[in-house]
Amino acid sequence: MTYRQPAQIDDRTRAERLTRRFTELYGHPPHGVWRAPGRVNLIGEHTDYNDGFVLPFAIDRAAMVAVRLKQSSDSAAHSADLASSYAPDGGLAKVSFTIAELAPGSVDGWGAYPAGVVHVLAGLDGIDVPGFEVLLDSTVPVGAGLSSSHAVEVATIVALNDLLGLGLSHPDLARLTQRAENEFVGAPTGIMDQSASLMGRAGGALFLDCRTLESEIVPLPLAEHGLSVLVIDTKVAHSHADGGYAARRASCERAATTLGVTSLRDLSATADDAAPAPFLDALDVETARRVRHVQTENRRVLETVERLRHGDLNGVGKLLTESHVSLREDYQVSCFELDLAVASALNAGALGARMTGGGFGGSAIALVHAVQLGQIRDAVLSAFTAHELQTPDIFTVLPADGAERITGSSELSVG
Ligand code: GAF
């Protein structure tokens, strides 16, 4: 069967629609509209909080915020057109808060994302954050492991960075949204997702050194090679505030201390490092496997960048699949549905496939010949039906530009 992707409305039309709804809701227009994309991670999983290497790309699905600054310090945020867990009745979900009263736990649900960012900004010396009104919408599916929460945080922080003239750089903004996520939302995540949302570029993947935040866009010539990246959202909801993610992170930190290194990155700085060495004897078997994943995954990222530079997309596919095996066997963050998505895509002809993001649910990606999209999607759907599982959502994604202002001038009338 041929595969047809449903059309998405363009950014400008979405921004105009959001502006109209904002004006109806608050009685005056916003000062501007900003968008920030979700991401898929091509490769480099659970390496970011080990100071390692990652290769994600921003996708053509994004959160959008319309924002207006106020004179008072109370803020209101509404979500519109969000996936059902944000506004279950399809209407508006509203969150209000006073900036000075914000503290971890004081706002929950989706409202914690804009509130967390504001809380962190307001805590910086010399920055006075006034109240503001926000209307939010997003086309990033929630709970699918495509960074819907980071997209909201990044859209909010770039809007405030512009409106308040803060002049913060992308690495600064990435570190601040990471603090919002860690300190306010309570999810001990790394720096990859917000960096992809901020620094992604259409046509390429973001090769990021998570220790220094030095980055480079590596071209991802999908169309030239007749390839597509297919996302398979298993519909198994995951949350990084749950124990599994935190336990993996803690075990890596303990292992680094035992091995006498600052972080596990120091065991695998180059692609030529020797295989896991006798030092692993100092660790219990399970921890040694976690360490082996981080070490081999860092090497796979470097190797993937090399393969891309040489136009070897078959080689990239093999590395993706190796990454999945390592996440399943050594890091143990996959699940039955993710393994099934990967296996059925590979059996139907994908060049490579792997879980993407933190795991325990969420999405898998497959690198596929565009002409095989229909057959691969059908094979995955049949496999899920045969196991009486929820029907996955399957769609293609393209590397897109990172966060940006869509409309609005810098001339403000604050009210
Ligand atoms: C989640 C986290 F948010 C990232 O920081 C990263 O650790 C990823 O899981 C695993 O690679 O997306």
Task: State pLDDT tens for residues 166-222.
Answer: 999 999 999 999 999 999 999 999 999 999 999 999 999 999 999 999 999 999 999
- Residue pLDDT, tens place only, 19-33: 998 998 889 999 999
Higher pLDDT, 90 or 383: 383
Dist. CA 91 → ligand 1 center (Å)? 30
Which pLDDT does position 144 carry in this prediction?
92
DSSP string of 212-235, one letter each residue: T--EEEEE--TGGGTEEEEEEE--
At 84 the pLDDT is: 34
Say how many residues make up the chain.
415
Each as own residue / partner, the long-range contacts of residues 191-195 (CB below 8 Å, 24 or more positions apart, any chain) are 191/48, 191/49, 192/39, 192/41, 192/44, 192/48, 192/54, 192/56, 193/39, 193/56, 193/147, 193/150, 194/147, 194/150, 194/153, 194/154, 195/54, 195/56, 195/170, 195/171
Instruction: Specify the DSSP class assigned to residue 390.
Output: P
Q: Which of 88-97, 230-239, 370-379 has the lowest mean pLDDT?
A: 88-97
Share of the chain above pLDDT 90, in %: 75
Q: Is the beta carbon of 38 within 6 A of some atom in ligand 1? A: no
Per the DSSP assignment, residues forming a β-bridge with 393 are 233
Nearest ligand 1 atom to alpha carbon 47:
11
Residues 27, 399 contacting (CB under 8 angstroms)? no
11-217+400-408 against 221-397: fold identical: no
Lookup: tokens for 346? 């590979």
- Mean pLDDT on 125-132: 89
Q: What is the mean pLDDT of residues 144-166?
A: 95
Asked if the model's pLDDT at residue 410 lies above 60, the reply is no
What pLDDT score does 411 carry? Answer: 53
Active site residue: 51, 81, 137, 193, which one? 193
pLDDT band at 268 (very low <50, low <70, confident <90, very high): low
Q: Closest Cα to atom 8, ligand 1: which residue?
A: 358
**CA-to-CA separations, 301 to 193, 210, 308, 318, 330, in angstroms, rounded:** 16, 12, 11, 12, 17
Q: pLDDT higher for 59 or 128? A: 59
Instruction: State the Cα–Cα distance between residues 84 and 371, nearest whole angstrom.
Output: 33
Question: Is ipTM strictly over 0.95?
Answer: yes
61: phi then psi, degrees, rounded to nearest 5: -140, 135
Is the CB–ligand 1 distance for residue 233 below 6 Å?
no
Of 137, 160, 111, which is closest to residue 21 (Cα–Cα)? 137
What distances in angstroms separate CA 67 from CA 29, 38, 187, 198, 408, one per listed residue? 9, 20, 26, 18, 10
Q: What is the pLDDT of residue 95?
A: 81
Q: Is 210 in the pocket of ligand 1 (CB under 6 A)?
A: no
CATH class name, domain 221-397 = alpha beta
Alpha carbon separation from 311 to 70, 120, 183, 305, 369 (Å, rounded): 51, 42, 41, 10, 15
Mean pLDDT across the stretch 266-291? 72
Question: What is the structure's pLDDT at 81?
Answer: 41
> Cα(204)–Cα(285) distance, rounded to whole angstroms?
38
Could you identify the atom of ligand 1 that is nearest to the CA of residue 181? 3
Give the architecture (CATH level 2) of 11-217+400-408. Answer: 2-Layer Sandwich (3.30)
From the CA of 150, give the closest atom in ligand 1. Answer: 3
User: What are the residue boundaries of the structural domains of the chain, listed by start?
Assistant: 11-217+400-408, 221-397
Q: Tell me how far apart the alpha carbons of residues 353 and 277 are, in angstroms, rounded to a whole number.
A: 29
Q: Give tens-digit pLDDT for 282-302.
A: 899 999 999 999 999 999 999
Helices (H), 164-284: 170-179, 192-199, 243-259
The Å distance, Cα 390 to ligand 1 centre, comes to 24
Best probe residue, ligand 1, of 55, 152, 192 (max atoms within 8 Å of C-beta) = 192
Rounded distance from Cα 188 to ligand 1 centre (Å): 9
Contact 272, 295 (CB under 8 A): no
Flag the least confident range among 13-17, 105-109, 295-299, 376-380: 105-109
SS3 (DSSP) at 193: helix
pLDDT the model gives residue 15: 93
pTM of the model: 0.93
Question: What are the residues facing 395 on neighbouring strands?
Answer: 231
Question: Is residue 162 flagged as an active site residue?
Answer: no
* Ligand 1 contact via 45 beta carbon (within 6 Å): yes
pLDDT at 18 exceeding the cut of 80: yes
**Rounded average pLDDT over 106-131:** 90
Question: pLDDT-derived band of residue 230, with 50, 70 and 90 as boundaries?
Answer: very high
Rounded to the nearest integer, the mean pLDDT of the chain is 90
